[in-house]
Amino acid sequence: MFIHCAGIEAGDTLPEPLMRKAQLAILPPSDGRKAERRVVNLAASLREPGARVADAEVVNLSVTGFAAESTAQVEVGHHVYLKLEGLEPMNCRCVWIEGGKSGYEFVSPLHPLTLDMVLAAGRKAPPKRHFGAGALTPARR
């Protein structure tokens, strides 16, 4: 069964803002981790001091650190600044790299309320009239 949404055709990719900013799950501390991680999908940027800004996608986040996918050329032990929407850049240290994914530890841990604020800002209410009569338009041919 296919549903047609105005302006979106089969095979189209959804615009970036629709694909980002979501909390997907909460993972308890394990493998010697200090805090529970939130599996997320957040747009961000990374920058080493004196280097160019690189786009990143934060894939998990906790008060003590995060994991991200990015094209930034970072080495273990190097410091970078993470910029998330609504927050000042945060100083972090790269602790592991595996493929295109890397893990970072915040130099100063996030306050739990700051973490909650970042996650709440990423959640969007569904648009009004998203479902129900009049929400969908007939498919155009």
pLDDT per residue as tens digits for the range 22-78: 444 555 555 655 667 888 889 999 998 888 899 999 999 999 999 999 988 899 999
Fill in the amino acid letter for 103. Answer: G
Cβ-in-10-Å burial (0-12, 13-18, 19+) of 68 comes to: buried
Checking if the pLDDT of 100 tops 70, the result is yes
pLDDT per residue as tens digits for the range 12-36: 443 443 334 444 455 555 565 566 7
Adjacent-strand bridge partners of 7: none
Alpha-helix residue ranges (DSSP H) falling in the chain: 16-19, 112-122
Give me the domains of the chain, ranges plus CATH numbers. 22-122 (2.40.10.220)
CA distance 21 to 103: 19
Contact indicator for 89, 81 with CB cutoff of 8 Å: yes
